[in-house]
Amino acid sequence: MPARRYRSGFPKAYHGTWCYNFFKTIDIEDPNMNDVGQTFLDQSRRYLSSDYLPKIERCLDELSDEEIWWRPNEASNSIGNLLLHLSGNVRQWIIGGVGGREFVRHRQQEFDERRQIAGNDLRAMIKSILAEADEVLSEVTTETLSDRKEIQGNDVTVMEAIYHVVEHFGMHTGQIIYLSKMKGGSELNLWRP
């Protein structure tokens, strides 16, 4: 019997991209996938909690609450909006979608928020959400990476859901760094441990 090939459930916007083409050809029943799968899980957890989060915290350290909510124009998001959005995304895709836990998300409100929620409150929120997501990810096994989930109207595997969150979090972390440098005008020394 031939090995079952991976069938991607990536949203149509991803079709034709390198990640779509990569994931659609993975042989999920290959015994060597256990090591690769565990490395994927470990690295995903590390990126979220030990790479992206400290960079965001370094940015928050350098900015006032007013600067956190500054936006270059009405078509752009503030750092505060991006943190609300990242929190909602992780709640929906990892905590709710992968972990099956209850969550509430009002996606549009993440972008519409204009109150200046304090930087310390935003920091506590994102740290708490990432801690819960890490707890969920610690329970994922290499065998469950191929399980299918319905998340935000998309039929995806657990692996795709995790991959989506990690790349999405990384993209918005880059925007937060850029906005911090733009507004704060200081070197963030993100390369320092």
**101 within 8 A of 94, measured Cβ to Cβ:** no
pTM: 0.81
Task: Give CA separation, 146 vs 55, 61, 79, 115, in Å.
Answer: 31, 39, 34, 41
CA 49 and chain centroid, separation: 10
The CATH number of domain 12-184, selected from 3.10.20.600, 1.10.3720.10, 1.20.120.450, 2.40.50.140: 1.20.120.450
Task: Indicate the angle between helix axes 79-90 and 119-139, nearest 10 degrees.
Answer: 20
**In this model, does residue 20 exceed pLDDT 80?**
no
SS3 of 94-159: the string is HHHHHCCCCCCCCHHHHHHCCCCCCHHHHHHHHHHHHHHHHHHHHHCCHHHHHCEEEECCEEEEHH
Sequence spans of domains, the chain = 12-184
Q: What is the pLDDT of residues 48-100, one digit of tens each?
A: 999 999 999 999 999 999 999 999 998 999 999 999 999 999 999 999 999 99
